[in-house]
Amino acid sequence: MSAEGRPVAAGIDPAVELLKPFHWRIAMLAALAFGGNGVDLGVVSFALPGLRAEWDLAPSELGLVLPAVGLGQCVGAILGGAFGDRFGRRAGFSLASVIAGAGTGLAAAAPNTTILALALFVGGLGFGGVAPIAGALVSEFSPPSHRGRFMALTQVAWVLGWCFAALGGGWFEQQLGWRGILGLGAFPIAIGLVGWLLVPESPRYLTARGRRGEAVALAGRLAERHGVVVPLGEPTTPDDSERVGLAELWSARFRLRTFTLWGTWIAMMAAFSGPVFWLPVLLRDVGSAEALRISAYVGFSMLPASLAAMGAIDRFGRRPLILLSLGSAALGAFAVALGTNAALLVAGAVAIASGTLAAWPVMLAWVSEQYPTRMRATAAGWASGMARMGTVAAPAILGLLLGPNGEGRAVAMLPFALLLSAAVVGCALFGRETAGQSLEETST
């Protein structure tokens, strides 16, 4: 048993399970980075009305600008993960945060849509890059029995950041204008600079890169200054270090877990980005008079779902939570597809939004746990990048299937319901439980 009465898995030093303020420091800095992403994505959304009015943009012109953020996130997740495995968690975390803030901040000075899209693409690179690196950082420093909860905290912070932007967006738009709103999005630069000062390199990363002496020295300093015992992990052979990349993710050793994790994350992100984003249109099509307000309430259901996941992830495990949350989202998608009134559509949308957002922090932890240290950020980056492609494609696909007057709602929604159902079946058959285990155990 740990000092807090939690069971300690075989092979884990009980001292590793001792929760210290240092662990909270790492988790909170990662959470701030995710919260910054939530704020930045929110301020981009609330800058759009003023931007459109000032530049007299048609919806089609605005539609060419918005995908820049999503595309940047796709590329940033893949490149950021590879950077974190090659150059370190500390450098990657700080650089990605600075890029996210710089891109969004520079968008405030954009003279035209081309420069605006380019700046938002750069900001997206940072948004996408933060997630896999912060995930690796938190998982490698956290005690095993708290690892899932700390990973979930980062997603709760993202939702809080989005809620802050949603609640204050109207006021900021009136007081600051669209350029001022985008200027607020530069604050992740401060997170990156603070992270560089306060976040040490991961001893596991140093060991995996063949820098065992540095890892031992760093672990000693952390034990002396903060009273924490940080496992060093296992060294990487020269052959292993050369093989890290997409090909190894699909090697015989990892292909089943890669298939399961990618498929689950793509289904989760596509369902969130398609049906939830299109909810105002779907509600109007069945006669709802307050579609925007109801849609906002549905969005706020994300917060209790994320909080519930944070409280349950280490107690009940990753796999059961994924099955429950995505199972409820699948049922919600069927309700939206087949519902005949606004009440059923809203209930279904709440199930989709809360289910996918409850699964999101679980997926962040699950992906980071299932690969060795030498490829942890790369694996998380590829999974996140593929999922981001789902966020780009899903709204467009749903819009095409929906039809000009919403007559194709069932045809448009059933693919998302079936995709979520397939993800649930895949996790039930192939998902590996990782709760409470050391990273050496979870990545074998």
DSSP for 97-143 reads HHHHHHHHHHHTT-SSHHHHHHHHHHHHHHHHHHHHHHHHHHHHHS-
Domain of 399, CATH number, reads: 1.20.1250.20
82 falls in which pLDDT band (50, 70, 90)?
Answer: very high
**Claim to verify: residue 112 and residue 187 sit in the same structural domain:** yes
**Claim to verify: residue 86 and residue 173 sit in the same structural domain:** yes
When comparing pLDDT for 438 and 138, which is higher? 138
| CB contact at 8 A, 311 and 334 | no
Q: What is the C-alpha radius of gyration for the chain, rounded to an integer number of angstroms? A: 21
Count Cβ atoms below 10 Å from residue 224 Cβ, excluding itself: 9
**Claim to verify: residue 264 and residue 164 sit in the same structural domain:** no
Tens of pLDDT along 6-58?
444 445 567 777 889 999 999 999 999 998 888 877 777 777 777 878 888 77
Does 221 reside within a domain? Answer: no
Domain range enclosing 79: 1-199
Count Cβ atoms below 10 Å from residue 145 Cβ, excluding itself: 22
**Claim to verify: residue 354 and residue 424 sit in the same structural domain:** yes
As a whole number of angstroms, the distance between CA 352 and CA 335 comes to 10
Query: Which residues lie below 8 Å from residue 75, measured CB to CB, with a gap of 6+?
Result: 124, 125, 128, 385
**Claim to verify: residue 36 and residue 109 sit in the same structural domain:** yes
| CB contact at 8 A, 17 and 437 | no
Q: End of a domain among 168, 183, 199? A: 199
Does 272 reside within a domain? Answer: yes
Does 93 reside within a domain? Answer: yes
Model pLDDT, residue 8: 44
Identify the DSSP state of 234.
Answer: -
The count of residues in the chain is 444
The number of folded domains in the chain is 2
404 falls in which pLDDT band (50, 70, 90)?
Answer: low
As a whole number of angstroms, the distance between CA 138 and CA 154 comes to 9
**Claim to verify: residue 160 and residue 304 sit in the same structural domain:** no
How large is the greatest C-alpha to C-alpha distance in the chain, in angstroms?
67
Model pLDDT, residue 239: 53
Share of the chain above pLDDT 70, in %: 86
Provide the Cα torsion 398, 403, 409, 412; round to 10°. Answer: -30
The arithmetic mean of pLDDT across residues 103-119, rounded, is: 92
Does 219 reside within a domain? Answer: no
183 falls in which pLDDT band (50, 70, 90)?
Answer: confident
Residue 238 scores a pLDDT above 60 = no
Model pLDDT, residue 102: 94
**Claim to verify: residue 167 and residue 250 sit in the same structural domain:** no
**Claim to verify: residue 139 and residue 278 sit in the same structural domain:** no
**Claim to verify: residue 265 and residue 323 sit in the same structural domain:** yes
Distances (CA, A) of 109 to 51, 71, 410: 12, 21, 43
Does 371 reside within a domain? Answer: yes
Residue 237 scores a pLDDT above 90 = no
Model pLDDT, residue 3: 42
**Claim to verify: residue 148 and residue 23 sit in the same structural domain:** yes
Q: End of a domain among 138, 165, 199? A: 199
**Claim to verify: residue 270 and residue 156 sit in the same structural domain:** no
Which of 43-52, 68-77, 161-170 shows the highest mean pLDDT? Answer: 68-77
Count Cβ atoms below 10 Å from residue 62 Cβ, excluding itself: 14
Does 266 reside within a domain? Answer: yes
Tens of pLDDT along 260-271?
999 999 999 898
**Claim to verify: residue 247 and residue 195 sit in the same structural domain:** no
Which of 43-52, 169-178, 292-301, 311-320 shows the highest mean pLDDT? Answer: 311-320
As a whole number of angstroms, the distance between CA 209 and CA 61 comes to 47
